[in-house]
Amino acid sequence: MDITVNILLTIATAATPLLIAAIGELVVERSGVLNLGVEGMMIMGAVAGFGVAFLTGSPWLGLLASVVAGAMFSLLFAVMTLSLATNQVATGLSLTLLGLGLSGMLGTSFVGQPGGRLPYLYIPGLSDIPVVGKLLFGQDPVFYLSIALVIAVSWFLFRTRTGLTLRSIGDNHASAHALGIPVIRYRYLAVMFGGACAGLAGGHLSLVYTPQWVENMAAGRGWIALALVVFASWRPLRVLAGAYIFGAVWIGQLHLQASGGISVPTQLLSALPYLATVVVLVLISRNKRLTLTNTPAALGQSFVPDR
Amino acid sequence: MGNCVQQGTGAASGYLLETRGLTKIFGTLKACDHVDLKIRKGEIHSLLGENGAGKSTLVKMLFGSLEPYSGEILWNGQAVRITNPSAAKKLGIGMVFQHFSLFDALTAAENIALSLDRTTPIGTIAAKARDLSTTYGLPLDPGALVGDLSVGERQRIEIIRCLLQTPDLIILDEPTSVLTPQEADRLFETLERLRAEGKSILYISHRLEEVKRICDSATVMRHGKVVDHCDPRQETAASLARMMVGTEVKTAERTPHAAGIGAELLGVHGLTRKPAGPFSMPLKNIRLSVRSGEVLGIAGVAGNGQGEFFEALSGEVLQDKADMVRIGGTPVGRMDISARRRLGAAFVPEERLGHGAAPRMRLSENLLLSRHATDHKTFVGPAGLVRSGAVQATTQRIVADMDVRKSAPDPEAAALSGGNLQKFIIGRELDRKPDVMIVNQPTWGVDAGAAARIRQALIELARQGSAVLVISQDLDELFEISDAIAVIHNGELSEPIPIAEATFERIGLLMGGAEPGHAAAQRENA
């Protein structure tokens, strides 16, 4: 029983950074901006989070630092693509490359240092309930934040006026401009929200998942988050499902590999989470019409208002 | 602006909107040059002019989407600066755009909500929209996805969206260019009702009959300048056209058939195609036949399958079966564009830039791009080297034949005005003397002089023994050049109606889908 609970707990821990980064990128893409720099923003969040926690001794300050670092790093992208109308794909890619290099340089003195870990939240009474108690009420704080984020983003996009405006910009920025909607301002805020989320996801990696600093520790999670957004056809709840399927198969195959009981090539097992996520999300996105009406039509296009 | 009719001066003389010396410069082009415009309260004021005369630039300045270079705008006699569309809305200026500013992936109600101010509770919008739509006789389903709606329905959303803001001045940019005649009538009723309520309307159109019918006064623009004011009810369509163009305008003349109607050159048999995307049209069992010497017109409201039909004929999209399309008797359904061209067909797509021509390439390069496959021997020499001399000579011949006006000897396609580029593209195909000519929207956005020339050229081509198929949303054009008109609605094509029996009303009913399947049923009975 305890083993099952522990496995389920690790699944949540593995899924959380993907979920947070993906939900942030979902908001960015809904506004019509494609930021391929998620990996870079994530790693900047991770190094900033670890560094501040290490230097101040407070993992909470570390977490805050990772959010700020992600948002600031995305601001660079926003200035380039929104104010200077550079190509979004190229700028996003260079943001990732810059983030990987910069974080490696900033983090040299942190390698091998003991890190600070965010305390798990135990709600007295509730978390003592067998099985469910630990799963629902004994997780790390970022887990709760990630679930709250999914609900909040879903409500924001489909129930609020501002969310409607954001979606309209992603559908057709020229029309939005003609209606007098401040397209660039909305996009700046969306990009920075996405950056803050990616930073937070990075902070989760270096403060909760593996509380230490290792160069390139995001290990491609930013790219998985990006793919999740597309495969989830830009719907928050599907992103949640995708992140958890990925986490579950990921942890599952690790246990399989460790047990050594099955003679399947490890490469195949390592590929399994990616395969499973793609298959499941493709299956739930079979409704072509729904997918196409949710796809931001202006995605990746630069917007320069004619004055 | 010497010959302006005096309409009275002074700020407090009851004008709702007045512009003085409004100027906008793009690069070296004066799009608007010291434009003076005066609109009274409770009048429908027409802004007349050819494409490129500066009408759209002017209204964009009034609506705050463009910033004037110089000059001033007076609203109720007060000088105002309209820095963005929200400011225009606050003053009481509403606009219905020519190219709609709607969001395909959102519902009608959501589209309306986006243009209202933030204090309007989102839950009440659907009900409000429904009320207004019944008051003004503009039926609308608030929950429908805009991408699924016809162009006429989309325009209703635009108009309701505009009315919900209770503007004093409503700007309509070419509102009827996408409507059936019946839909246009309904729009005019709405406009007259609004005028009776004391609202002012700035009505932009190049359809002179409409302007004569509903407008109280008119300002005429040419090359960015105001050249005349008039009362359109006192003018004739011909005199209005003269003011717009500056010279007498010829209409195309349908010459009699010299050699008579010959054999079928283009045949379409049971052409069926599934919709390509969520918002595109399927084609349903289309049949038609165009014979030598004949111009067949295809009418229809935009978005009823014209684009899909053209793609199928030109070979951009292949058919399931080879004999769904025949050119000169050969089944070509499985052949690509070049193969169809080699059989003597020529195609002119609707979109000039990016489809009919590569915008950043020179005219001669554009000529080579489309002609090297059909006239390989003429344009390409030994070892695959281009014969630039022949290309240049042909380019110059087309330019001379079609009277293409350009600023440089061999400019980029994008540097030509819409009308001149269209003349070049049509000329490029005519120069081949094709047996079958298929044109989609030959004069869309083309000024009156160029349009007359293009129409005449199409008629002459048919009279020399070619089969010509013209897909157009402009009914006047089709009546001017066609020998018979068929109507496409919802991906279905009606039986062609000979021009002698065709009336605006009859065609208009078919365009609105009043007799769905009527023609097909007739065929089965026969």
Chain B hits for A164, CB-CB cut-off 8 Å, are 106, 110, 113-114, 122
Structural domains of chain A in order of their starting residue, each with its CATH number? 2-294 (1.10.3470)
Chain B hits for A295, CB-CB cut-off 8 Å, are 105
- Put residue B77 in one of left, alpha, beta given phi > 0 → left and psi -120 to 50 → alpha: left
Burial of residue B499 (number of CB atoms within 10 Å: 0-12, 13-18, 19+) = middle
C-alpha–C-alpha distance, residues B413 and B424, integer Å: 9
C-alpha–C-alpha distance, residues A175 and B147, integer Å: 14
C-alpha–C-alpha distance, residues A32 and A25, integer Å: 11
Q: Is B100 on the interface with A (CB under 8 A)?
A: yes
Least confident of A108-122, B71-85, B226-240, B464-478: A108-122
Query: Average model confidence (pLDDT) for chain B?
Result: 84
Cα dihedral A220, A222, A226, A231 in deg (nearest 10): 60
C-alpha–C-alpha distance, residues B518 and B526, integer Å: 13
Q: What 3-state DSSP class applies to B6?
A: coil
Q: How far is CA B326 from CA B280, B295, B402, B469, in A?
A: 25, 17, 30, 14
Out of B85, B104, B105, name the one closest to residue A178 (CB). Answer: B85
Average pLDDT over residues B505-526: 61
Label residue B520 by pLDDT band (50, 70, 90): very low
Chain A hits for B118, CB-CB cut-off 8 Å, are 161
Which of B414, B47, B12, B40 has the alpha carbon at shortest distance from B226?
B47
The pLDDT value recorded for residue B10 is 42
Residue carrying the six token digits 């090359």: B223
Contact between B46 and B203 (Cβ < 8 Å): yes
Q: At what angle do helices A2-30 and A38-56 cross, to 10 degrees?
A: 120
What angle (nearest 5°) sits at the alpha carbon of residue A19, between those of residues A14 and A23?
Answer: 165
Architecture of domain B264-356+434-525: 3-Layer(aba) Sandwich (3.40)
Helix (H) or strand (E) holding A55: helix A38-56
Look up residue A100 and give its amino acid.
L
Contact between B262 and B450 (Cβ < 8 Å): no
DSSP B275-327: -SSTT---EEEEEEEEETT-EEEEE--TTSSHHHHHHHHHTSS--SSGGGEEE
Chain A hits for B62, CB-CB cut-off 8 Å, are none
CATH number, domain B43-53+83-245: 3.40.50.300
**CB interface of A with B, residues 153-212, below 8 Å:** 161, 164-165, 167-168, 171-172, 174-181
The pLDDT value recorded for residue B196 is 92
Out of B64, B87, B106, name the one closest to residue A167 (CB). Answer: B106
Burial of residue A268 (number of CB atoms within 10 Å: 0-12, 13-18, 19+) = exposed
The pLDDT tens digits along chain A (307 residues) read 567 778 888 888 899 999 999 999 999 999 999 999 999 999 999 999 999 999 998 999 999 999 999 999 999 999 999 999 899 999 999 999 999 999 999 998 888 888 778 877 777 776 677 767 767 777 788 999 999 999 999 999 998 889 999 999 999 998 888 887 889 999 999 999 999 999 999 999 999 988 889 988 888 899 999 989 988 889 999 999 999 998 998 888 888 888 776 777 878 888 888 888 788 777 877 777 777 778 888 898 888 876 5
The pLDDT value recorded for residue B11 is 43
Q: Do residue A172 and residue B66 have CB atoms under 8 angstroms apart?
A: no
The pLDDT value recorded for residue A1 is 53
Going by the DSSP 8-state scheme, the letter that residue A82 receives in this structure is I
Counted across chains A and B, CB pairs separated by less than 8 A come out at 66
Would you say residue B310 has pLDDT above 90?
yes
If one compares B72 and A127, the residue with the highest pLDDT of the two is: B72
Chain A hits for B97, CB-CB cut-off 8 Å, are 178
DSSP B87-156: HHHHHTEEEE-SS----TTSBHHHHHHHHS-TTS-GGGHHHHHHHHHHHTT----TTSBGGGS-HHHHHH
Least confident of A229-243, B415-429, B512-526: B512-526
Q: Where are the domains of chain B?
A: 43-53+83-245, 264-356+434-525
Would you say residue B524 has pLDDT above 60?
no
Q: How far is CA B307 from CA B146, B347, B424, B434, B442, in A?
A: 19, 13, 21, 21, 13
Would you say residue B4 has pLDDT above 60?
no
Q: What percent of chain B has pLDDT over 90?
A: 33
As given in the structure block, the two tokens for residue B182 are 């019946």
| Min distance A227 CA to chain B CA atoms (Å) | 22
Model confidence pTM above 0.90: no
Instruction: Find all residues with CB under 8 Å of B121, minimum gap 6, and list them.
Output: none
Q: Are B43-53+83-245 and B264-356+434-525 the same fold in CATH? A: yes
Relative to beta strand B200-205, strand B169-173 is parallel
Q: How far is CA B267 from CA A141, B273, B338, B467, in A?
A: 70, 16, 18, 10
Label residue B126 by pLDDT band (50, 70, 90): confident
What angle (nearest 5°) sits at the alpha carbon of residue A15, between those of residues A13 and A21?
Answer: 115
Chain B residue with Cα closest to A305: B65
The pLDDT value recorded for residue B523 is 40
The pLDDT value recorded for residue B518 is 45
DSSP B32-43: EEEEEEEEETT-
| Min distance B519 CA to chain A CA atoms (Å) | 32
The pLDDT value recorded for residue A155 is 94
Question: Three-state SS string across B423-439, please?
Answer: HHHHHHHHCCCCCEEEE
Partners of B489 in beta bridges = B492
C-alpha–C-alpha distance, residues A274 and A253, integer Å: 11
Beta-strand ranges (E) seen in B293-414 are 295-299, 325-327, 330-331, 345-348
C-alpha–C-alpha distance, residues A158 and A147, integer Å: 17
If one compares A221 and B514, the residue with the highest pLDDT of the two is: A221
Contact between A45 and A198 (Cβ < 8 Å): yes
Would you say residue B348 has pLDDT above 90?
yes
